[in-house]
């Protein structure tokens, strides 16, 4: 491992102490290998997060080092499939951060009413919980019929799940609580049918939703939007990649369009901050002003 051969120390025997620089090198090599062999680019993901996710996969496969994982990933596409899910699936909840949805209702909805047609991009929608949350909100505000939601994710597996609109029944209590705190106007259970251990959401909610694959790292802007939602996706990227995506969002937003980030994400560290004004500082809702 970290023992220089020139010192004549045996390379076998008990492992030497953990070397974080060596591990960083192993991770860089693995991500470079994945990019060059499979084309998935995780090289600019936040190091501490990706490191944690890689080790989860290593443990699940009974491996011992990042380098062992590299050998397996490069020679076994099925291992890559499993790792891809580990690295690209972000966990969310319906009406996650109810305060945000309440603020959206109170501040963004009146702005949206002034537009004849509303195009919304939900970037990095994962399994779709927050897409359905927004569809419900728009429905209750009477704006659903003039809205079109483009829900995209890098991962087709999660998109298929999102499209199906079935969420675990055992989460409905938590989601109902969120929905109420988010200013929900009806009974949450009206939106789904319980079947076995799943809650199937009403197909009328997906009428104006287009699910499609899009890679924030490598793909370009594909339209102009009035609202861009990207909540708790950029936290998995490093600062540089975050700025790259902010450039994409800036290009894709119409003037006075709304940008919604996660509650603990901020434009403060981005060079695009001056292009936006805050609609709600705490909930990280912004409006493009130049």
- Tokens 């470079």: give the residue: 32
CB nearer to another protein: pick between 19 and 187 = 19
Q: Is residue 133 near another protein by the rule CB under 8 A?
A: no
CA angle 15, 80, 90 (to 5 degrees): 95
Region 69-128 residues binding another protein, contact defined as CB under 8 A: 90-92, 96-99
How many helices (H) and strands (E) in the chain? Answer: 10, 10
Cα(206)–Cα(216) distance, integer angstroms: 23
Which of 236, 249, 250, 276 is in the footprint of another protein by CB under 8 A? 236
Q: Would strands 198-201 and 276-280 be described as parallel, antiparallel, or unpaired?
A: unpaired
Point out which span in 131-139, 146-154, 203-211, 235-243 binds another protein (CB under 8 A): 235-243
Binding track, positions 193-232, relative to another protein; x by CB under 8 A: ---------------------------------------x
Point out which span in 44-52, 117-125, 135-143, 159-167 binds another protein (CB under 8 A): 44-52
Q: Are 157 and 120 in contact (CB under 8 A)?
A: no
CB nearer to another protein: pick between 15 and 77 = 15
Region 161-190 residues binding another protein, contact defined as CB under 8 A: 181
Point out which span in 9-17, 112-120, 140-148, 187-195 binds another protein (CB under 8 A): 9-17
What's the token pair of residue 121? Answer: 């991009």
Which of 52, 195, 271, 278 is in the footprint of another protein by CB under 8 A? 52
At 138 the three-state DSSP class reads helix
> E strands within the chain?
118-123, 147-153, 166-168, 192-195, 198-201, 209-213, 225-230, 253-261, 276-280, 285-288
Q: Is residue 239 near another protein by the rule CB under 8 A?
A: yes
Q: How far is the CB of 117 from another protein (least distance, A)?
A: 32
User: How many Cα neighbours within 13 Å face the side chain of 256?
Assistant: 7
At 124 the three-state DSSP class reads coil
Region 240-269 residues binding another protein, contact defined as CB under 8 A: 242, 262-266, 268-269
At 255 the three-state DSSP class reads strand
Binding site for another protein (CB under 8 A): 2, 14-23, 46-49, 51-53, 55-56, 59, 64, 90-92, 96-99, 181, 232, 234-236, 238-239, 242, 262-266, 268-269
């Amino acid at each position: 491992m970290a023992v220089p051969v020139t010192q004549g120390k045996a390379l076998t025997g008990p492992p030497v102490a953990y070397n974080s620089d060596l591990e960083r090198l192993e991770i860089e090599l693995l991500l470079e290998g994945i990019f060059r062999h499979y084309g998935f680019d995780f090289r600019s993901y936040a190091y501490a997060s990706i490191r944690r996710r890689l080790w989860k996969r290593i443990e699940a496969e009974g491996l011992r080092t990042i380098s062992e994982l590299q050998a397996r990933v490069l020679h076994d596409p099925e291992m890559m499939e499993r790792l891809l899910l580990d690295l690209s699936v972000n966990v969310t909840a319906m009406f996650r951060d109810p305060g945000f949805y309440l603020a959206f209702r109170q501040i963004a909805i009146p702005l949206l009413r002034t537009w004849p047609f509303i195009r919304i991009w939900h970037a990095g929608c994962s399994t779709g919980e927050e897409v359905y949350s927004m569809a419900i909100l728009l429905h209750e505000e009477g704006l659903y019929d003039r809205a079109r939601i483009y829900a995209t994710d890098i991962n087709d597996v999660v998109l298929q799940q999102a499209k199906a609109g079935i969420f675990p029944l055992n989460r409905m209590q938590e989601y109902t609580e969120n929905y109420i705190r988010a200013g929900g106007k009806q009974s949450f259970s009206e939106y789904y049918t319980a079947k076995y251990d799943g809650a199937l959401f009403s197909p009328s909610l997906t009428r104006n939703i287009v699910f499609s694959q899009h890679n924030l790292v490598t793909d370009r802007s594909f339209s102009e939007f009035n609202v861009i939602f990207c909540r708790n996706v950029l936290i998995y990227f490093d600062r540089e990649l975050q700025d790259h995506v902010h450039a994409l969002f800036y290009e894709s937003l119409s003037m006075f369009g709304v940008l919604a980030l996660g509650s603990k994400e901020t434009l403060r560290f981005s060079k695009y901050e001056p292009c936006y004004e805050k609609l709600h500082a705490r909930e990280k809702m912004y409006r493009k002003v130049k």
